[in-house]
């Protein structure tokens, strides 16, 4: 079974930093570059394509989604029709993947992890359902980090979406349809508009009734709220979804949970030990914490050399020349 991994690079510089983490960890995990595709928006353009190319990964153009932000990921489902794959894994960029995900994919069902919290609240989801004219009552379930809460069972986090090839096109069309409507009526989501892609996904899955199996939290683990994930509900995390929880060196910040931190340290070792990509040095050279120190050290050495040269010249200059300095 061939698995194709896809991720989006948009214009914000943080997407370049996140993409570097994503690519370094997933390639080090053993996923071949031919099974990866970077979908680059026109707003990112050459920097995004150069970064992907420096890792030997294909980069293709990605049209913006209805909102030009959270829904951009939907268009990943329309760009790979000619590729040879059995399951598409559409990924957020802020992931560190520690091993290939072949063990988790299914060729006959969609897989994703339910949201961690009640975002948006059930009352907001119900008002949206009424507006959309969806008569079917969605099955309810508890969010991953809120056992006492309730949300739609298909309200899934968009970080890791596993979609068999035969479902890619119909799911993409239904997902885009709901995202377009909700973008035009975004006030329905109130302050939870940043979850518009996940809400649209939920209604698309509800409409199509595609076979679905929930993805264990190990394959989309929120390191930023690790202490809220119920203990005993997971084994060693395989996919670390860090949600911008990085330290000053650009590495994943520890969570304070020993089992999770073992995975985080493994990811950070890969980030620390791996050399820079073999091509496109202009993209990655002299960036980040270490790059800043290299530049600073170089400036100091240059200044010292200039001073020493000046002293040497002054020592050997004739006295009449030194009078006019």
* φ and ψ at residue 86, rounded to 5 degrees: -105, -35
Residue 273 confidence (pLDDT)? 80
Least confident range from 126-135, 172-181, 269-278, 286-295: namely: 286-295
Average pLDDT score over residue span 154-180: 98
Residue 281 clears pLDDT 80, i.e. is over it: no
Model confidence, pTM: 0.85
Digit-coded pLDDT (tens) for 284-322 = 333 333 343 333 444 444 444 443 444 443 443 443 333
Q: Is residue 81 very low, low, confident or very high in pLDDT (cuts 50, 70, 90)?
A: confident
Burial class (CB in 10 A: 0-12, 13-18, 19+), 135: exposed
Residue 5 clears pLDDT 70, i.e. is over it: yes
Average pLDDT score over residue span 177-199: 98
Residue 277 confidence (pLDDT)? 63
Digit-coded pLDDT (tens) for 206-260 = 999 999 999 999 999 999 999 999 988 899 999 999 999 999 999 999 999 999 9
The residue with tokens 């508009």 is: 193
Digit-coded pLDDT (tens) for 44-69 = 999 999 999 999 999 999 999 999 99
Q: What is the C-alpha end-to-end distance of the chain, expressed in Å?
A: 77
Strand (E) or helix (H) holding 6:
strand 3-9
Whole-angstrom distance, CA of residue 11 vs CA of residue 40: 9
Average pLDDT score over residue span 38-46: 96
Residue 276 confidence (pLDDT)? 57
Digit-coded pLDDT (tens) for 83-100 = 999 999 999 999 999 999
Residue 270 clears pLDDT 90, i.e. is over it: yes
Residue 110 clears pLDDT 80, i.e. is over it: yes
Helix residue spans in the chain (DSSP H)? 13-28, 46-54, 122-132, 165-184, 196-208, 258-273, 281-284, 288-316, 319-322
Average pLDDT score over residue span 277-289: 40
Angle at 175 between CA 205 and CA 243, to 5 degrees: 90
Give percent of the chain with pLDDT exceeding 90. Answer: 82
- Give the full edge-to-edge strand order of the sheet including 87-91: 58-61, 36-40, 3-9, 87-91, 160-164, 110-112, 212-214
Q: Is residue 41 very low, low, confident or very high in pLDDT (cuts 50, 70, 90)?
A: very high
């Amino acid at each position: 079974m061939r698995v194709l991994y896809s991720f989006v690079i948009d214009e914000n510089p943080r997407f370049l930093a996140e993409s570097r983490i994503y690519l370094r960890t997933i390639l080090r995990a053993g996923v071949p570059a031919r099974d990866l595709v970077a979908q680059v928006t026109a707003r990112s353009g050459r920097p995004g394509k150069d970064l992907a190319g420096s890792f030997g990964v294909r980069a293709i153009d990605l049209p913006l989604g209805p909102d030009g932000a959270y829904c951009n990921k939907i268009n990943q489902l329309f760009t790979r029709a000619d590729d040879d794959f059995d399951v598409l894994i559409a990924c957020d960029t802020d992931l560190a993947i520690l091993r290939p995900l072949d063990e988790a994919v299914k060729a006959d069902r969609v897989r994703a992890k339910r949201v961690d919290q009640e975002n948006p609240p059930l009352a907001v989801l119900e008002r949206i359902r009424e507006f959309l004219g969806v008569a079917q009552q969605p099955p309810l379930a508890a969010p991953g980090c809120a056992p006492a809460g309730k949300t739609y069972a298909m309200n899934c986090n968009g970080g890791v979406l596993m979609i068999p090839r035969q479902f890619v096109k119909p799911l993409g069309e239904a997902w885009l349809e709901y995202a377009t409507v909700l973008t035009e009526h975004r006030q329905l989501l109130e302050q939870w508009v940043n979850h518009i892609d996940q809400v649209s996904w939920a209604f698309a899955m509800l409409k199509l009734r595609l076979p679905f199996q929930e993805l264990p939290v190990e394959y989309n683990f929120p390191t930023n709220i690790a202490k809220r994930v119920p203990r005993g509900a997971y084994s060693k995390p395989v996919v670390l979804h860090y949600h911008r929880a990085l330290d000053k060196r650009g590495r994943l910040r520890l969570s304070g949970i020993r089992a999770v931190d073992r995975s985080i340290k493994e990811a950070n070792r890969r980030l620390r030990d791996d050399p820079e990509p073999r091509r496109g040095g202009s993209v990655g050279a002299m960036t980040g914490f270490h790059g800043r120190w290299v530049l600073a050290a170089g400036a100091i050495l240059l200044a010292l050399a200039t001073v020493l040269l000046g002293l040497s010249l002054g020592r050997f200059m004739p006295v009449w020349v030194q009078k006019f300095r």
